[in-house]
Amino acid sequence: MAMKIRKGDVVMVIAGDDKGKTGRVLAVDAEKQRVVVEKVNFVKRHTKARKQGVQSGIIEKEAPLHLSNVLIYDAKSGRGTRVGVRVLANGRRERISRASGETLSKSD
């Protein structure tokens, strides 16, 4: 199955503890079907300084979410939307919002 969510997209979380939150996609792992979303799904890691100058302590960072728990955020409809693909006359493909029919930009 093709990945319809890309790095830089704005997505909305539809399941889990962070349901309803939106954020920008920082990383996509196609093999594991997971995405890391900015300021969503924080976990705490207790780290020990391995070399001099490295800070030890409790660090909060974003953990990956499964692809099925996020939808592309459509600003026009104000909610998450499924993604479709439209083939243009010149053969190029573009992603479209199923809710509004609008084209999803490359940097969205």
Residue pLDDT, tens place only, 23-34: 999 999 999 999
For the chain, give the mean pLDDT. Answer: 92
User: Average pLDDT, stretch 18-41?
Assistant: 96
Domain limits of the chain?
10-97
* Average pLDDT of the residues in 66-89: 93
Residue 108 binned pLDDT confidence (cut-offs 50, 70, 90): very low
Q: Is the pLDDT of residue 72 over 50?
A: yes
Report the pLDDT value the prediction gives residue 82, as an integer from 0 to 100: 94
In CATH, 10-97 is 3.30.43.10: no
> At 100, is the secondary structure helix, strand, or coil?
coil
